[in-house]
């Protein structure tokens, strides 16, 4: 599997938090994804990493930065 260094670092952090090795975490992800007929495991891992850290981040009512809105 090919991932950018930042995603490998994130996987290592998730594995540490979950008490797993990166290999065991990837094996668990692969077994869960097999049932969903995922074409690209690398893409699925990137989504998993994003969703994991999004779920771990407390939500704030105030935006952290301004969002540009396209003119009509």
Rounded Cα distance between 16 and 49, Å, is: 13
Is residue 72 pLDDT above 60, yes or no? no
Model confidence band, residue 60 (pLDDT cutoffs 50, 70, 90): confident
Rounded Cα distance between 17 and 22, Å, is: 11
Is residue 57 pLDDT above 80, yes or no? yes
DSSP assigned state of 8: H
Structure tokens at 25: 């975490």
- For the chain, the domains span 5-56
Is residue 68 pLDDT above 60, yes or no? yes
pLDDT digits (tens, 9 = 90+) for 9-49: 999 999 999 999 999 999 999 988 876 666 788 999 999 99
Q: % helix / strand / coil in the chain, to the nearest 5?
A: 60, 0, 40
Indicate the pTM of the whole model. Answer: 0.74
């Amino acid at each position: 599997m090919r991932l950018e260094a930042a995603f490998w670092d994130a996987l290592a952090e998730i594995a540490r938090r979950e008490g797993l090795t990166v290999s065991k975490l990837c094996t668990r992800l692969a077994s869960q994804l097999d049932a969903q007929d995922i074409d690209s495991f690398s893409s699925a891992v990137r989504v998993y990493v994003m969703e994991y850290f999004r779920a771990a981040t407390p939500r704030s009512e105030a935006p952290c930065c301004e969002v540009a809105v396209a003119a009509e």
